[in-house]
């Protein structure tokens, strides 16, 4: 078993401008924020970002790195509207493929299964079809037993990813990833839909440690889908990463209210250690 450990900077050094990048988590929950911050330190841009959007989308949009976004929403959860995503949309600065939450999941599943599409009921009759003129439908070859109708569904195209970034609670050096919170979100699917996947985690442990305190069904991500493992304690900050840490609500409010240039200058000018120091200093000022 190879040792796939690397730094966040090494992981993002493998990304290139123009890539299609999937980002795990959900809204403001268990987002790979340390990897996103590392990405912001590179010149990589012109990205197609595929995400159940949260501050990952907001930061990358604010920094002008997103050419196209594929998403059903962008939210900070406790703050419903993502301010930088909003600003980007209202200034017309990013292209959007707006799809339903279930369509999104089936797009990832299609990619993970190497299928060109999967049929979904969701989307028919909604403006998702109007704003995505490239979406096609597919008619069932089977007639419905009760109605005799051949139903027509959205042929949700595979959301194939060049790379995926996810953050989990634990991983081993080979890339077996474990979630310990209430919801796996879709991080395994992101990794399966991607050519390369980079998993950051709160703590790297020996493989045997993974199942000492938690059952094997918490082992969400398999090493055969993982290219790099990054130990990043607090690596989801300021999103939630239960049970290791909750969302930093106070800091999220700051992020949502501070002009982006000021936020970036104060918190994102240095490396991850500098970020943590700046966050701690800010918290101390508040008390």
Partner 1 sequence: MSAVPSTSPGAAPDASSGATASVSRNGVSRAEYCVIACAEAWRGDGEILASPMGPIPSIGARLARRTFSPELLLTDGEALLVGPDGAPEGWLPYRQHLALVAGGRRHVMMGASQIDRFGNQNISCVGDWERPTRQLLGVRGGPVNTLNNPVSYWVPRHSARVFVAKVDMIGGVGYDSAAAAGPTATRFHRIPRVVSNLGVFDFATADRSMRLASLHPGVTVEEVVAATGFELSVPDGVPYTREPSPAELRTIREDLDPEGLRDREVKG
Q: What is the binding site for partner 1 (CB under 8 A)?
A: 26, 53, 71-75, 80-81, 85-86, 89-92, 98-103, 105, 120-128, 130-131, 147, 149, 151-153, 182-186
**Rounded CA separation 285/287 (Å):** 6
Neighbour-count burial of 74, counting CB atoms closer than 10 A to its CB (0-12 exposed, 13-18 middle, 19+ buried): buried
Tell the smallest beta-carbon distance from residue 127 to partner 1 (Å).
4
Nearer to partner 1, 3 or 144 (CB): 144
CA distances (Å), origin 164, targets 23, 174, 186, 197, 243: 6, 16, 11, 5, 23
Here the tokens at position 182 are 């209430």
Tell the smallest beta-carbon distance from residue 85 to partner 1 (Å).
7
**Rounded CA separation 4/141 (Å):** 46
214 neighbors 182 (Cβ within 8 angstroms)? no
Nearer to partner 1, 100 or 272 (CB): 100
**Rounded CA separation 240/249 (Å):** 9
Who's near 58: CB < 8 A, 6+ residues apart?
A: 74, 76, 82, 83, 84, 85, 255
Nearer to partner 1, 122 or 201 (CB): 122
Tell the smallest beta-carbon distance from residue 214 to partner 1 (Å).
15
Tell the smallest beta-carbon distance from residue 221 to partner 1 (Å).
14
Tell the smallest beta-carbon distance from residue 158 to partner 1 (Å).
17
Here the tokens at position 189 are 């699917």
54 neighbors 28 (Cβ within 8 angstroms)? yes
Tell the smallest beta-carbon distance from residue 105 to partner 1 (Å).
6
Nearer to partner 1, 11 or 70 (CB): 70
Nearer to partner 1, 181 or 233 (CB): 181
Residue whose pair of structure tokens reads 């909003």 in the numeric block: 86
Nearer to partner 1, 32 or 228 (CB): 32
């Amino acid at each position: 078993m190879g040792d796939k450990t690397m730094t966040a900077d090494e992981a993002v050094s493998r990304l290139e401008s123009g890539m299609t990048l999937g980002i795990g988590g959900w809204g403001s929950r268990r987002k790979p924020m340390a990897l996103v911050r590392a990405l912001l330190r590179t010149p990589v841009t012109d990205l197609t970002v595929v995400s159940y959007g949260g501050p990952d989308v907001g930061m990358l949009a604010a920094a002008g790195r997103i050419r196209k976004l594929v998403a059903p929403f962008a939210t900070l959860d406790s703050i419903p509207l993502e301010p930088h995503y909003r600003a980007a949309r209202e200034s017309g600065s990013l292209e959007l493929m707006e799809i339903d939450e279930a369509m999104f999941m089936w797009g990832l599943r299609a990619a993970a299964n190497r299928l060109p599409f999967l049929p979904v009921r969701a989307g028919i009759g909604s403006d998702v079809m109007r704003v995505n003129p490239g979406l096609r439908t597919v008619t069932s070859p089977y007639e419905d037993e009760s109605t005799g109708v051949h139903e027509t569904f959205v042929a949700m195209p595979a959301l194939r990813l060049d790379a995926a970034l996810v953050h989990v609670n634990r991983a081993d050096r080979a890339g077996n990833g474990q979630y310990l919170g209430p919801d796996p979100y879709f991080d395994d699917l992101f990794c399966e839909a991607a050519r390369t996947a980079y998993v950051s985690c709160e703590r790297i442990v020996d493989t045997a440690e993974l199942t000492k305190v938690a059952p094997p069904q918490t082992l969400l991500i398999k090493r055969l889908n993982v290219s790099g493992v990054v130990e990043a304690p607090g690596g989801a900050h300021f999103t939630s990463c239960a049970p290791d840490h909750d969302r930093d609500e106070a800091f999220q409010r700051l992020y949502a209210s501070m002009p982006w240039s000021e936020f970036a200058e104060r918190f994102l000018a240095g490396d991850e250690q500098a970020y943590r120091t700046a966050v701690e200093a800010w918290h101390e000022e508040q008390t």
